[in-house]
Chain A
Amino acid sequence: EAEVAQSPRYKITEKSQAVAFWCDPISGHATLYWYRQILGQGPELLVQFQDESVVDDSQLPKDRFSAERLKGVDSTLKIQPAELGDSAMYLCASRVTSLGDNEQFFGPGTRLTVL
Chain B
Amino acid sequence: QKEVEQNSGPLSVPEGAIASLNCTYSDRGSQSFFWYRQYSGKSPELIMFIYSNGDKEDGRFTAQLNKASQYVSLLIRDSQPSDSATYLCAVNGIDTGGFKTIFGAGTRLFVKA
Contact = CB atoms under 8 A, between A and B. Distances in A.
Interface stretch (B12-20, B59-67, B71-79, B97-105): B97-105
Nearest to B49: A103
A55 B34 CA distance: 22
Nearest to A43: B103
Interface residues of A, number: 27
A98 B32 contact: no
Interface SS, B side: strand
B103 to A, nearest CB: 4
Interface stretch (A60-68, A72-80, A106-114): A106-114
A107 B100 CA distance: 18
Contacts of B101: 33, 45, 104
Interface string A90-107: 010000011111011111
A40 B8 CA distance: 9
A99 B100 contact: no
Interface residues of B, number: 28
A101 B96 contact: no
B26 to A, nearest CB: 14
Given A42-B88, A42-B106, A101-B51, A56 B100 contact: yes
Given A106-B43, A109-B43, A42 B105 contact: yes
Nearest to A97: B98
B45 interface: yes
A100 B8 CA distance: 30
Interface string B69-101: 000000000000000000010101001111111
A43 B44 contact: yes
Nearest to B41: A111
Interface of B: 4, 8, 31-32, 34, 41-46, 49, 51, 88, 90, 92, 95-106
